[in-house]
Structure 1
């Protein structure tokens, strides 16, 4: 099994990808530390859909196997790590909250993702809920393929902003590719959180708390966005189970 770098936490394999057995609080503490110390940290939130793609997507597999923190995003991935101390899934929106709260006076955030205006609305809500929080940059990506020239400009803007953490909200696997592509140029945590941009901005309503962590949140999201998400869940979930069974040890 590939080893994640620089972590003392237990890891376990799902679909032959190493997952770190940390909850949202533990992951946030690690991310804040690396942000403050200006340490590169490639983070990925691995849910069933993400892991269902790795057998057919070499670029995604490379990104995940070179990561510093692959976190269990979703009940099925978390349950597979119970004997390694995994207490529950790490949801993207909750991870943002934990990092924002625990690093409020030490972490400067750059938000890159969502449709036009979404990152700005997310920044406003973060500032409202965490007084004193510094969001030093927001931007939406182009709808066209992201070129190396665009990424060079992004790196320059992030550096000039003074940020020490970059959040990416582009959806899987596009956001995961960027983490790996940017890691050599940015000495900071780079964290893809997908739908968290929409949840924090209010563009999409998040599942009620009584649904979160039950393993049924995917049904809520499917009901809310059936045309966009039906392939992810109705095809991705069986593909994930087959891959997890095939790679079991």
Structure 2
């Protein structure tokens, strides 16, 4: 297992860990029924925090943020000399976590996406991991839920008997949801986004070669140009530019926590 510490990538705290460490951390929290908020961030996820200080504080308040995108992994090597054997890709982390939960005979709650996607995702998970139990599933309302609705959702999850929660609301909504609700749920909550659609078979994944080359964004852009063009055409060049400022030490990007405290760009 690899855990090389946590580091600021444009002000967002990213943990330099591998799959084994991430899965083991989630598994132990599930076994102990302890709260743990996890997100897998690619460039878009990092930029949602960089461009929104309030959201950056939320991201920095999560328990574990892993480098979902190759460029984020490369950024930690460029800025801090921290080399990881691979990124920790959210859809792959989802499967590995599901396998670990299945081996323990544990159950998971699925929250987000659409009913059709949830049904296919659930069926595929149980087909691939027969020991995995689905404690419950609930689709997104596709709007900001009221405090009363949030409390009801949390209660349903807690009463379901689940040991972990997979959340697929899309970035940044799922990270906001995980930050706000994990303490009340008291279980590991994984914000895994497109993993729901990928593993339900409703959305194609980029070929492995494109993923390894850091070009998954290009594949996704060709699949959903109207929805994703701004995310990639504007935010990707901005990420490279700002990363250059951080690398040449022309701008500081400290880690600001939810309580207002500031941490240095690297620690751990």
In 1, the alpha carbon distance for the partners of 2:183 and 2:5 equals 26
Unaligned runs of 5+ in 2: 250-268
Q: Once the 2 structures are TM-superposed, how far is the Cα of residue 115 of structure 1 from its aligned partner?
A: 2.0
Cα offset, 1:49, TM superposition: 0.7
Q: Provide structure 1 residue ranges, at least 5 long, that are not aligned to the other structure.
A: 1-6
The answer for the alignment partner of 1:146 in structure 2 is 145
Aligned residue for 2:239?
240
SS in 2 for 1:76: helix
Counterpart Cα distance in 1 of 2:155 and 2:69: 34
Please, which moves more after superposition, 208-217 or 191-200?
A: 208-217
* Aligned counterpart for 2:92 among listed residues 83, 91, 94: 94
Where has structure 1 moved over 6 Å in runs of 4 or more? Answer: none
On the 8 A contact 1:44/1:176 being kept in 2, the answer is yes
Q: Which residue of 2 aligns with 1:4?
A: none
Structure 2: how far apart are the matches of 1:186 and 1:241?
Answer: 37
The TM-score with structure 2 as length reference comes to: 0.85
Tell me what 1:199 maps to.
198
Q: Which residue of 2 aligns with 1:185?
A: 184
SS of 2:197's partner is helix
Contact 1:111 1:138 in 2 (8 A): yes
What is the distance in 1 between the residues matched to 2:227 and 2:20?
A: 31
**Residue in structure 2 matched with residue 3 of structure 1 by the alignment:** none
RMSD value, Cα = 1.7
Shift of 1:9: 4.2
CA contact (8 A) 1:79 1:88 kept: no
Matched pairs, number: 243
Q: Secondary structure at the residue paired with 1:211? A: helix
Return 84-93 or 44-53, whichever deviates more.
84-93
Partner deviation per Cα, 1:78-97 (whole Å, 9 max, x = no partner):
11223224222111110011
Q: Is the radius of gyration larger for structure 1 or structure 2? A: 2
Per-residue deviation, 1:29: 1.4
Contact 1:63-1:180 within 8 A present in 2 as well? yes
Per-residue deviation, 1:56:
2.8
**Cα 1:210/1:59, change in 2 over 3 Å:** same
Report how far residue 35 of structure 1 moved: 0.9
Checking the alignment, whether the CA contact within 8 Å between 2:174 and 2:193 is kept in structure 1 is yes
Aligned to 1:77, which of 64, 72, 75? 72
Residues in 2 aligned to 1:205 and 1:177: alpha-carbon distance in whole angstroms: 26
Q: TM-score, with normalisation over the residues of structure 1?
A: 0.91
Partner of 1:87, secondary structure, is: coil
How many Å apart are 1:103 and its aligned residue? Answer: 2.4
Cα offset, 1:245, TM superposition: 3.1
1:42 to 37, 42, 67: 37
Give 1:119's aligned residue. 118
Distance 2:126 2:191 in 1: 20
Contact 1:16 1:247 (C-alpha < 8 Å) held by counterparts: no
1:225 offset after TM fit, Å? 1.1
Partner of 1:11: 6
